[in-house]
């Protein structure tokens, strides 16, 4: 970074790191640490004495909010206006213009939600998830049917499946413990409305099918988080399936 002959390569490398970041991560833990070290070293090498100035944000050529002023005593990140309402579907050009000041790093973070995110073709496992009944009565039992397939011709290590459970349905922990005892799964966790299933490995082309027992507890119409599967150490490559939905009707008075 100190050699001027490599300035262009350094800038391209940092841009590549910025473009390949996935949810604040760069693949495995080790590669994330190395990437962050490189970014910190870059910031230190490019640091300049602070000078007063102002920043203005533009969306598609239009000013977004008022300019934000800063001086040499300003500490911490300089946050610009929220542009959520200006980012309607389609392509947009985001521009930050600085008046005065000195060279400084910047970042743009966009948080959004998608009912079913896009799947990676490099994912080695394929999940299938369905409900035995999409309409149940309060107090009635149902099953979330899970099928996980190793789509490769080799043994794969540490597959994980995260199964979204619709609200209003209560998971039966005793049944999940039985799945562990029977060897159907290696272990499990229940995190909010998701059941996380773990295996140590899957054989080439292996298919694992199992039920997750649930009880209808609270009447209403619910949509679960999208289910997905991936390998533990390559969680940047996931395969997603559409969220489950369920309608829970109130029990007749005196029957529940």
Domain count of the fold of the chain: 2
Q: What is the DSSP string of 161-208?
A: EEEE--TTEEE-HHHHHHHHHTTS-SEEEEETTEEEEE-SEE-TT-EE
The pair of structure tokens assigned to 40 is 């910190």
The pair of structure tokens assigned to 221 is 């119409």
pTM for the whole structure: 0.62
* pLDDT range class, residue 83, cuts 50, 70, 90: confident
**Which residues are paired to 147 by β-bridges?**
128, 209
Q: What is the pLDDT of residues 124-139, one digit of tens each?
A: 999 999 999 999 999 9
**Does a structural domain hold residue 37?**
yes
Same domain, 15 and 82: yes
CATH number of the domain residue 201 falls in: 2.60.40.690
Q: What is the pLDDT of residues 112-168, one digit of tens each?
A: 777 898 999 999 999 999 999 999 999 999 999 999 999 999 999 999 999 999 999
Same domain, 77 and 193: no
State the residue for tokens 């099918």: 209
Q: Write down the pLDDT at residue 255.
A: 54
Same domain, 171 and 241: yes
Q: Which domain holds residue 230?
A: 125-249
Q: Write down the pLDDT at residue 140.
A: 96
Residue 96 DSSP SS3: strand
**Which residues are paired to 90 by β-bridges?**
none
How does the average pLDDT of the chain come out, rounded?
89
Structure letter (DSSP) for residue 142: E
**Once rounded to an integer, what is the mean pLDDT over residues 214-225?**
96
**Does a structural domain hold residue 256?**
no
């Amino acid at each position: 970074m100190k050699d001027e002959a490599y300035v262009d390569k350094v800038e391209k490398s940092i841009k590549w790191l910025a473009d390949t970041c996935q949810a604040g991560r760069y693949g495995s833990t080790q590669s994330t640490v190395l990437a962050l070290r490189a970014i910190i070293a870059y910031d230190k090498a490019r640091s300049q004495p602070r000078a007063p100035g102002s920043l203005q944000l533009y969306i598609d050529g239009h000013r977004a909010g008022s300019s934000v002023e800063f001086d040499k005593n300003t500490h911490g990140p300089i946050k610009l206006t929220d542009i959520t309402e200006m980012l309607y579907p389609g392509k947009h050009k985001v521009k930050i213009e600085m008046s005065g000041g000195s060279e400084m790093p910047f970042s743009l973070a966009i948080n959004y939600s998608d009912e079913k995110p896009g799947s990676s073709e490099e994912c080695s496992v394929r999940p299938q998830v369905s409900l035995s009944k999409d309409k149940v009565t309060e107090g009635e039992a149902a099953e979330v049917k899970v099928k996980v397939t190793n789509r490769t011709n080799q043994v794969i290590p540490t597959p994980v499946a995260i199964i979204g459970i619709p609200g209003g349905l209560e998971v039966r922990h005793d049944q999940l413990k039985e799945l562990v005892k029977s060897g159907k799964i290696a272990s499990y966790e229940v995190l909010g409305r998701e059941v996380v299933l773990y295996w140590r490995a899957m054989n080439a082309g292996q298919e694992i099918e199992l039920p997750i027992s649930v009880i209808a507890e609270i009447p209403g119409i619910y949509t679960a988080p999208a289910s997905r599967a991936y390998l533990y150490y390559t969680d940047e490559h996931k395969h997603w399936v559409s969220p489950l939905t369920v309608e829970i009707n109130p029990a007749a008075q005196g029957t529940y």
